């Protein structure tokens, strides 16, 4: 059996432009669809530079709860009854300060939960935990 190999010295010099036209038409359609979206203007009311009054925020209260259940209000020892009174006094102002609770590693969950519940009952909104050192 003999196979004939058809070898031609003339290179094939034709380019198929159909896929190129298809890609260009798809890109044209995408641009026609997205261009109206890009031209929509959004009106923003940006703050203008001017004189601003500085509002004094009250100092945050740091409440440390030790492992034995003792509590310290800004480094002053307090018991649960005194804590209730202190929270009631601080929340009656114009803007109540933030309460930062610093529980020790061995502090009881019940004590910490009672402090949070008491602060919520008195109307404190900003209650944070101090990160461990």
How far is it, in rounded angstroms, from Cα 97 to Cα 127? Answer: 9
Residue 117: exposed, middle, or buried by beta-carbon count in 10 A (0-12, 13-18, 19+)? Answer: exposed
Tell whether the model's pLDDT for residue 132 goes beyond 70.
no
Mean confidence (pLDDT) of the chain: 83
CATH number, domain with residue 92: 3.30.420.270
The reported pTM is 0.55
With respect to residue 29, please indicate whether it lies within any of the assigned structural domains: no
Residue 78's CB is within 10 A of a number of other CB atoms, namely: 16
Give the domain extent around 72: 61-129
The predicted-structure confidence for 52-75, as pLDDT tens digits, reads as follows: 777 676 788 899 999 898 999 998
pLDDT for 30: 92
Digit-coded pLDDT (tens) for 9-18: 777 778 888 9
Instruction: Examine residue 47 and state whether it is found in any structural domain, yes or no.
Output: no
- Mean pLDDT for 94-108 is 86
């Amino acid at each position: 059996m003999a196979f004939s190999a058809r070898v031609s010295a003339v290179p094939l010099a034709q380019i198929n432009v159909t896929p190129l036209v298809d890609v260009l038409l798809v890109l044209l359609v995408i641009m026609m669809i997205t261009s109206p979206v890009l031209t929509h203007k959004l009106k923003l009311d940006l703050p203008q530079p001017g004189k601003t009054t500085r509002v004094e925020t009250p100092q945050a209260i740091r409440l440390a709860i030790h492992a034995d259940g003792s509590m310290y209000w800004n480094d002053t020892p307090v018991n649960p009854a005194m804590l209730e009174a202190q929270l009631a006094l601080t929340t009656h102002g114009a803007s109540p300060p933030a309460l930062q609770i610093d529980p020790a590693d061995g502090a009881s969950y019940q004590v910490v939960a009672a402090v949070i519940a008491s602060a919520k009952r008195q109307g404190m909104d900003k209650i944070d935990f101090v990160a461990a050192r």
